[in-house]
Amino acid sequence: MRIVIAGGHGQIALRLERLLSARGDEVAGIIRRAEQGDDLRAAGAEPVLCDLESASVEEVAAHLQGADAAVFAAGAGPGSGADRKQTVDKGAAILFADAAERAGVRRHVVVSSMGADPAHPGDDVFDAYLRAKGEADEYVRGRAGLDWTILRPGSLIDDAGTGLVRLEASTGRGMIPRDDVAAILAELVDTPATTGLTLEAISGSTPISVAVKSVAGN
């Protein structure tokens, strides 16, 4: 498969690139800064320079041509203000979905956040983030040209992955290593039977491949 990842230099994306390239997939990661390219190459991915905050749908669609799947893993990141939650966590997600649809890339996996909700109350930056992610998720769900799956991990940690998770429509709060989030994404990309599902993920007791098969109805 050829898989294009938005936010290719993110902590989850770099882990995902390593997993996908190791299993023989062709991986491209969209990045904003050329100096990030070496990290992607080290992970086995082709760096694609494109700023999702300023690019047109046509530009992004050109980068998606010929892909078998697209993964949105971009984020404004900690330390960014409410404005960039709108331009990246919402705006770039919408742009990427539109571009995937235009390029005919149906399989579309989104890294969202537990608690994402367009109606989330509050005035803190994190409240704005959860609203932006919720609005983006809602938009993706409305795209008839996409076979989408939305993954909402719990609190992300840098502990080594265990390969054991709880993956359900609603899990309740919990933590999960970024390693395991990347491993779930790698399975989801390969499992179109999860199309139309919004899933929460935290650490648990079920092997990742079994958890994905279970939610897919297998």
What is d(CA 97, CA 60) in angstroms, rounded to the nearest whole number? 10
What is d(CA 160, CA 171) in angstroms, rounded to the nearest whole number? 21
Nearest to 211 by CA among 194, 130, 22, 124: 194
What is d(CA 94, CA 80) in angstroms, rounded to the nearest whole number? 19
Query: Which member of 129, 180, 190, 191 is catalytic?
Result: 129
H or E segment to which residue 147 belongs: strand 147-153
Nearest to 68 by CA among 28, 95, 13: 28
What is d(CA 149, CA 199) in angstroms, rounded to the nearest whole number? 8
Active site residue 129: yes
How big is the CA angle at 65 (ends 110 and 179), to the nearest 5 degrees? 35
Strands 26-31 and 2-6: parallel
Q: Cα–Cα distances in Å, from 41 out to 19, 26, 44, 182?
A: 13, 12, 5, 17
Positions marked catalytic: 129
